[in-house]
Amino acid sequence: MTPPNATERVVPRHVAVIMDGNGRWAKQRNLPRIEGHREGANAARRTITKAAKAGVSFLTLYAFSVENWKRPAREVSALMSLLVETLKRYEKELAENDISLRAIGRLDDLPANVRKQLDRTIQRTAHHRRMTLILALSYGARIEILEATRALARRAASGQLNPDSIDEATFASALYTHDIPDPDLLIRTSGEMRVSNFLLWQISYAEIHVTSTLWPDFAETDFQRALADYATRERRFGRV
């Protein structure tokens, strides 16, 4: 975990996005829900491009939560197929823009074909340095925290770790994001005022920007507006 820094640059180093509103976007147009997700993939592409151009170093997109497995099997299957299709389509574009891909979450939950394509894209973009794109897949913050707790408990039980030595840095080192700086800015679309079990530990000091725009309609101007909002915030981290 990166310690808070009151002298951060105006452009956030790490932006995290809760991409919400695909289903409502489709419903408003009397379209199948998958069409909303397809348009959502286009919005993700725009956001990735804009973030890289703006100088953001890390962009985390909440793509699929552990709770999303409860959706109808047909929709989940369509989402997994769309993920594979999107990764294949934009793998070259990520490379051309010097963007590396990573993923966090319970990745073993993903179907084999999804995991295969995901691993391939991660491997093929690993050496790029302009920006790191992180997809949160089968992700849930409570599960992440539980898994980190269990990992530390096992180390303590085996005598490898003194429980009294566990501090915030030690705990953060056991999270999926152990080598990724905490988000500076959290963007939530569709106007919902909740964080939806997303990066609960990591967003402790994140600035939050909520927009009523549904995710498929989220444009480069919306992202720029979020950055401009962030630039007006005074980041005191408890200081006067």
Q: Is residue 37 part of a domain?
A: yes
Task: Give the pLDDT of residue 81.
Answer: 98
Tokens of 62: 């909440």
Nearest to 191 by CA among 16, 24, 12: 24
Domain that holds residue 81: 14-232
The rounded mean pLDDT for the chain is: 95
Q: Is residue 238 part of a domain?
A: no
The domain spanning residue 200 has which CATH number?
3.40.1180.10
Active site residue 42: no
Query: Which residue is catalytic, options 20, 182, 184, 222?
Result: 20
In a domain? residue 8: no
Residue 6 lies in a domain: no
**68 a catalytic residue:** yes
- The reported pLDDT for the residue numbered 9 is 60
Q: Is residue 7 situated within a structural domain?
A: no
Residue 54, H or E segment: helix 33-54
Per-residue pLDDT tens, the chain, 240 aa: give them. Answer: 444 454 446 899 999 999 999 999 999 999 999 999 999 999 999 999 999 999 999 999 999 999 999 999 999 999 999 999 999 999 999 999 999 999 999 999 999 999 999 999 999 999 999 999 999 999 999 999 999 999 999 999 999 999 999 999 999 999 999 999 999 999 999 999 999 999 999 999 999 999 999 999 999 999 999 999 999 998 877 665
Going by C-alpha positions, the residue among 183, 203, 190 that lies closest to residue 141 is 203
Catalytic residue of the set 42, 68, 179, 229: 68
Q: What pLDDT score was predicted for residue 10?
A: 87
Does the residue 23 lie in any domain?
Answer: yes
Q: Is residue 205 part of a domain?
A: yes
Q: How many structural domains are present in the chain?
A: 1
Distances (CA, A) of 157 to 40, 145, 168, 169, 181: 45, 18, 19, 19, 29
Q: Does residue 239 sit within a domain?
A: no
Q: Which two tokens stand for residue 186?
A: 């959290």
What is the SS3 assignment for 111?
coil
Q: Would you state the pLDDT for residue 236?
A: 73
Both tokens assigned to 20: 């919400």
Residue 215 · residue 25 · CB < 8 Å: yes
- 204's torsion region: left (phi>0), alpha (psi -120 to 50) or beta? alpha
